[in-house]
């Protein structure tokens, strides 16, 4: 069962970015720290003055798990900018396909219902 992603006010820029093929992150005006898209207070300096920036879309697997229902490989991916994204790994079948450190690249996924979501695949 696919649960569609839906936007709210806070996430609108994030989903707009995905519609345009980009994964947006938050950058702190005060200290420059780059953090996850859902960040409200900078984890480094606690400022709430954050702007939206593009990510490179490149990263590496932190850890991967498998939901047998799919089967779907889910993972935490560390972007080159630093933040971790909880996402799915496309065209992988087992956690062994994507051990920690495997380079991956963003592929925006249109699930057919609701907003597009970030997904990743092994970088060739």
Does residue 17 interact with another protein by CB under 8 A?
A: no
Does residue 117 interact with another protein by CB under 8 A?
A: yes
Does residue 7 interact with another protein by CB under 8 A?
A: yes
Sequence-distant contacts of 64-69: CB under 8 A, at least 24 apart? 64/89, 64/92, 64/95, 64/97, 64/98, 64/99, 65/95, 66/93, 66/94, 66/95
| DSSP β-ladder status, 50-54 and 24-28 | antiparallel
Does residue 3 interact with another protein by CB under 8 A?
A: yes
Nearest C-alpha neighbor of 81 from the set 13, 28, 33? 33
User: Which of 27, 55, 87, 102 contacts another protein by CB under 8 A?
Assistant: 87
Does residue 93 interact with another protein by CB under 8 A?
A: no
Does residue 57 interact with another protein by CB under 8 A?
A: no
User: Which of 48, 86, 91, 123 contacts another protein by CB under 8 A?
Assistant: 86
Does residue 58 interact with another protein by CB under 8 A?
A: no
To which residue do tokens 């697997």 refer? 61
Two tokens, residue 56 = 């490179």
User: Which of 53, 65, 93, 123 contacts another protein by CB under 8 A?
Assistant: 65
Nearest C-alpha neighbor of 106 from the set 68, 65, 56, 49? 56
Residues of this chain that bind another protein (CB under 8 A): 2-8, 10-11, 14-15, 35-38, 43, 62-68, 70, 72, 74-76, 78, 82-84, 86-88, 95, 99-100, 109, 111, 114-115, 117-119
């Amino acid at each position: 069962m696919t649960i569609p992603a839906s936007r709210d006010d806070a996430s609108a820029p994030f989903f707009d970015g995905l519609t345009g093929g980009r994964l947006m992150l938050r950058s702190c005006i005060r200290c420059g720290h780059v953090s996850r898209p859902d960040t409200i207070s900078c984890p480094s300096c606690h400022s709430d003055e954050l702007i939206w920036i593009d990510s490179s879309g490149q990263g590496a697997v932190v850890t991967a798990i498998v939901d047998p229902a799919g089967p779907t490989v889910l993972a935490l991916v560390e972007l080159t900018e630093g933040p971790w994204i909880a996402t799915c790994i496309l065209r992988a079948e087992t956690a062994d396909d994507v051990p920690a450190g495997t380079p991956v690249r963003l592929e925006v996924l249109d699930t057919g219902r609701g907003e597009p979501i970030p997904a990743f695949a092994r970088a060739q």
